[in-house]
Amino acid sequence: MARRRQIYEGKAKILYEGPEPGTLIQYFKDDATAFNAQKRGTISGKGVLNNRISEHIFTALATIGVPTHFIRRVNMREQLIRQVEIIPIEIVIRNVAAGSLSKRLGIEEGTQLPRTIIEYYYKDDALGDPLISDEHIACFGWASQEEMNDIADMAIRVNDFLCGMFAAIGIRLVDFKLEFGRVWDGDFARIILADEISPDGCRLWDLKSNEKLDKDRFRLDLGKVEEAYQEIARRLGLMPEGEEENAVLDFDKHRKKRGR
């Protein structure tokens, strides 16, 4: 098979040229980074699980009318997506204090927030993704006011939907990150949800025990990292019964041996 043209390589994913204009293939790696890539490692099988988890969530969001870049999953590690102009802003939605919010404002981790907070960070690794406000976004023209209204509305809808989805499987959605992109219909631009939604970019705690079931296990060296991703997939009903984890990972191993 002809080698596909690589468009972009990020920390956890690679984008390749898609089969048709306006499409891309999004490949999920096992690589993990934390603290602005100062800590690096691999989480075996993560790419397979994140591909599957993100497919599940984006498909569910489409059913409630949230437009997304997801078209279909093509194999264990790849999905076909719509090409977008990525808005250079990371949207963080918080329901419970944790991470940088707890550190910055001295609020004890685990404190339920009286209202949901939306924060914006400028997507720039060299600058360490600094926290920004609407003023910076307007001043530097990263998105229009109308686009930011759409983004905030969609972020709240996604949060409400995901809080319910995770609560139903005994998980608290503490906080998570979204990215949005712009697509053009002639002269008319619209905003759709892009990137991925997976335990890489969410804080997911067991409702009863508060056990962390997300990338914080890697960030904080808590152990059982692979197991946490598998547990999320399992609770979402994405693993076949029985020898589930092994089946997923074995399949992946065979693919690698065949050089795909």
Query: Which spans of this chain sit near ligand UDP (rule: CB under 6 A)?
Result: 90, 92, 98-101, 129, 175-177, 201-203, 215
Q: How many other β-carbons are positioned within 10 Å of the β-carbon of residue 157?
A: 15
Q: Which is nearer to ligand UDP, 57 or 252 (CB)?
A: 57
Q: Which is nearer to ligand UDP, 90 or 147 (CB)?
A: 90
Q: Which is nearer to ligand UDP, 11 or 255 (CB)?
A: 11
Give 146's contacts (C-beta < 8 A, 6+ positions apart): none
Residue with the shortest CB distance to ligand UDP: 99
188: which DSSP letter? E
- How far is 257 from 254, CA to CA, in rounded Å? 5
User: Token pair of 163, please?
Assistant: 């809080």
Q: Which of 162, 177, 160 minimizes the C-alpha distance to 91?
A: 177
Instruction: Give phi and psi for 76, each to the nearest 5.
Output: -60, -30
Q: Cβ 199 to ligand UDP, closest distance in Å?
A: 8
Rg (CA), the chain: 18
Q: Cβ 183 to ligand UDP, closest distance in Å?
A: 22
Q: Which is nearer to ligand UDP, 56 or 203 (CB)?
A: 203
Give 225's contacts (C-beta < 8 A, 6+ positions apart): 43, 217, 218
User: Token pair of 24, please?
Assistant: 């891309």
Q: Cβ 172 to ligand UDP, closest distance in Å?
A: 12
The number of residues making up the chain comes to 260
Q: Which is nearer to ligand UDP, 93 or 252 (CB)?
A: 93
Q: CB pairs under 8 A, 24+ apart, for 130-134?
A: 131/100, 131/104, 132/89
Q: Which is nearer to ligand UDP, 98 or 137 (CB)?
A: 98
Q: Which is nearer to ligand UDP, 207 or 247 (CB)?
A: 207
Q: Cβ 95 to ligand UDP, closest distance in Å?
A: 11
Q: Cβ 102 to ligand UDP, closest distance in Å?
A: 8
Q: Cβ 99 to ligand UDP, closest distance in Å?
A: 2
Q: Cβ 250 to ligand UDP, closest distance in Å?
A: 29
- How far is 239 from 247, CA to CA, in rounded Å? 9
Number of continuous H segments (helices) and E segments (strands) in the chain: 7, 14
